[in-house]
A and B are shown apart, each in its own frame.
Chain A
Amino acid sequence: MTVILAFLVLVALAAGLWLSQQRLASKPWLETGIAPLAGHGPGRAPGFIFIAVFLAVAGGLFAMLGSAFVMQIDETPWELVPLPGRVWLNTALLLLASLFMQFVVISARAGTTRWLRASLIAASIATLAFLAGQAQVWIALTSGGYPLDGPPAASFFYLITGLHGLHVLGGIIALAAICLRHAGGGDVKALLPGVRLCALYWHGLLAFWLMLFALLQGWGNAFLALCRAAVT
């Protein structure tokens, strides 16, 4: 359960930071009048908070999966699935997709239609290629003697990549919906709030994938073993 607890420490830090701005030590019964609310600067649209909180929830989900995976590997002695090299390529694709999404935001803010269109297409292609690549890894593993109902480490790979892929797919659908809604209108800036949320979501999914990828490589368990050795 180390992974989920580490994740919760991060969440607790963020929550603590926010709580520290809420004047928790004030004496509200002594104060009358209209008090200013804390933490309502520009850019804190409800949608932004919504995606941020949702990413925390999804992060909890993946951290939980990571925890279960690490627990599993610890109990069955180090039976990891050898990941094909294709996974590295997929990771690079997701990284690119995240980068292109940032370009989308930048060009939407600047209002340059051509750049916006190009980076949107690039981001979509990179993301779809990532998904296709993951599917290819599945096929390779299944035919390579690691089927879904094989050793638990293999089942974990399918489950983790599958749930992550579903989240990516959801993101693409949302992105498509936003673009279609504004397809007719000439104003590129109308896209900005929507694509900004998408970009945030993409970055979050990239971060989760990097963590999960490290765990699936067995680095998490190696790290834990190292800690244990250092303690004893």
Chain B
Amino acid sequence: MTDILPEHDSNLPPREVADVMPPHAHSWIGKYVFSQDAKYIAIQYSGTAAAIGLVALVLSWLMRLQLGFPGLFDFITPEAYYQFVTMHGMIMVIYLLTAIFLGGFGNYLIPLMVGARDMVFPFVNMLSYWIYLLAVLVLVASFFVPGGPTGAGWTLSPPQAVLSGTPGGAQSGIILMLVSLILFIIGFTMGGLNYAVTVLQARTRGMTMMRLPLTVWGIFTATVMALLAFPALFVACVMMLFDRLLGTSFFMPTLVELGEKLSYGGGSPIAFQHLFWFFGHPEVYIVALPAFGIVSDLIAVHARKNVFGYRMMVWAIVIIGALSFIVWAHHMYVSGMHPWFGFFFATTTLIIAIPTAIKVYNWILTLWKGDIHLTLPMLFALGFIVTFVNGGLTGLFLGNVVVDVPLSDTMFVVAHFHMVMGVAPIMVIFGAIYHWYPKITGRMLNEAMGQIHFWVTFIGAYAVFFPMHYVGLVGVPRRYFEIGEPAFLTAPVDGLNAFISSAALIVGAVQVLFLFNIFWSLRHGLAAGGNPWRATSLEWQTPETPPRHGNWGDDLPNVYRWAYDYSVPGAPKDYVAQNDPWVPDSGGRRL
């Protein structure tokens, strides 16, 4: 089934990893439906994620309509509102962001960037997508069952999640949600094992870890984190499913619900929160680290300069990944856990700010003395820096235990996490799509549409989430269907909410233009050639664009240098590709 390809040039050192041609599909179905080619799976993943992401976008419109113009839309009942909030959050975090960064970019970029022909286990990789699709379908199905989807909030905290006071709690909404999450985790694990093992075991000759583009470092570290963090969510979901269906009391103490005593007893609701956030906090970095990696590469390519402090960047990614496993309880400062934990978790949380800050400095120092081309990817990268710095800094409020007390569970939190893990990573996703679209399709995305898309998204998103911090500061709690006009408001928030909602509608609408651009440019975009950005990393050096099955033609590339040789003094061009054996006259250390 698999055949090991012969070596054509015998003057090179022996290969550590055999050059194996992935199985070739012959039937139409094998090529275009049940494809085992990571590049095709990447597009399937991204397409599905974008489709379900559009649903989440519409849900956010509906909930903003309620918040901005309360009472105007009769069909938005409190039940419906909480269902919108819950499904919006869950879809965006899990089914869009996680899926598109790891399943989408991970699948497309890892094999190309490390110089492999495909993922190591293409069949398992294909299964991963189909189980993900099944998870999405189960999620969608919950919109059509009696009682509708769950309205438990994306944190799904028991006991309310499985009780009748919450939409979908006593019906099948919550059951489908949990089943869908369990499926997602199984599917992700199959993909994640592939991404990790491919980076570990399928790098081409010469591609040491320290020569990898930061994109691969970010996705790889995020994958390892996800593999270790998702089991926590898996366990939590299975246990809650047992509580809901089989009458166990894992998370259920003795309860009196609306005057009636239930048969539960002996469980602990806080245990669920520990399990959930043990997954939930690493999840933030599972989304952020790939974004960190990708944005480093976008900045380097479009500023024609090496990433500043590459080693520090790698160390920071690894340190952030490790630390993110011991900060989870900063989501639980006011949950009723033992107050002494506050000291420990506030300290670890604020320490994690230091490696994160180093990354920000190094992005900007990469711009310093660069040759900055203000292309669309660069614009989105700049948008990322602004929104990420903003959202990261408000994290210092919420991570510092005592400052968190008045702010937790207010709109300040909503503004913070949207800025830092909503807007910022999505800026990177857009930038990355403008950057790699030419490799995927062979054509450039339309520039004019892209400019409109960038400016409206960037300024609009900032206008949505910056003022929202102040709504929270005034004291408006999150997950409020309507606040009314309580006396503690120093100024009415209605006008501000209407402004935020209007901006959100505009930002959402412009995404349609972006989608149109993607389809329009497939046919009408300018021909891109193999390496339109004059980039060094391996994916731009494929013999064909878009890359064919097997990626590399007859011979795997050999890697002679790191991924950031831009504007090297004395080099013939302003970039030296990773597979270019050029040696500087001044020497440098030859291996």
Contacts and interface: CB of A to CB of B under 8 A. Distances in A.
**CB atoms of A and B under 8 A apart anywhere in the complex?**
yes
Interface of A: 1, 4-5, 8, 11-12, 15, 19, 22-40, 44, 46, 49-50, 53-54, 56-58, 60-61, 64-65, 67-68, 71-72, 75-76, 79, 148-149, 151-152, 155-156, 159, 163
Contact of A49 (B201, B224, B561, B581): B201
Contact of B248 (A8, A26, A152): A152
9 contacts: A8-B228, A12-B322, A29-B565, A32-B582, A37-B16, A37-B206, A60-B228, A68-B235, A75-B268
A203 B247 CA distance: 34
Interface stretch (B311-319, B346-354, B356-364): B311-319
Contacts of B189: 54, 57
The 5 A-B pairs of least Cβ separation, nearest first, read A149-B247, A33-B591, A28-B562, A61-B231, A40-B16
Interface stretch (B26-34, B271-279, B547-555): B271-279
Contacts of A148: 242, 246-248
Interface in B556-580: 558-562, 564-565
Contacts of A19: 318
A33 B582 CA distance: 9
B278 A155 contact: no
A23 B208 contact: yes
Chain B interface size range: 35 or more
Interface stretch (B62-70, B127-135, B192-200, B472-480): B192-200
Contacts of B224: 15
A50 to B, nearest CB: 5
Given A64-B232, A155-B250, A163-B238, 5 more contacts: A5-B326, A25-B311, A29-B565, A57-B189, A152-B249
Given A34-B559, A152-B266, A155-B248, A46 B121 contact: yes
B588 interface: yes
A138 B583 CA distance: 69
A61 B203 CA distance: 29
B209 interface: yes
Nearest to B325: A8
Nearest to B591: A33
A60 B590 contact: no
B525 interface: no
Contacts of B200: 39, 49
Contacts of A53: 193, 196-197, 227
A19 to B, nearest CB: 7
Contact of A26 (B120, B210, B247, B268): B210
A33 B193 contact: no
A41 B306 CA distance: 32
B584 A32 contact: yes
Interface in B262-285: 263, 266-268, 271, 274-275, 278
B239 A35 contact: no
Interface string B201-223: 11101111111000000000000
A79 B591 CA distance: 63
A158 to B, nearest CB: 8
Given A149-B246, A149-B247, A56 B228 contact: yes
Contacts of B589: 30-32
Contact of A72 (B232, B271, B311, B326): B271
Given A31-B561, A61-B231, A46 B267 contact: no
Contacts of A37: 16-17, 203, 205-208
Given A8-B325, A26-B210, A71 B17 contact: no
Interface in B370-389: none
A35 B211 contact: yes
B232 A4 contact: yes
B325 to A, nearest CB: 6
Nearest to B563: A28
B13 A29 contact: no
B562 A29 contact: yes
Contacts of B267: 72, 152
B12 A34 contact: yes
A76 B247 CA distance: 18
Interface in B143-171: none
B455 interface: no
A100 B365 CA distance: 59
A75 B315 CA distance: 39
Contacts of B192: 57
B40 interface: no
Given A32-B561, A65-B235, A46 B203 contact: no
Nearest to B272: A68
Nearest to A23: B210
B13 A46 contact: no
A32 B560 contact: yes
Given A28-B310, A34-B12, A35-B211, A72 B250 contact: yes
Contacts of B246: 148-149
Contacts of B581: 32-33
B120 A50 contact: yes
Interface in B1-30: 12-13, 16-17
Contacts of A35: 206, 208, 211, 559, 591
Given A49-B197, A149-B248, A32 B583 contact: yes
A56 B211 contact: no
Contacts of A33: 206, 560, 581, 583, 590-591
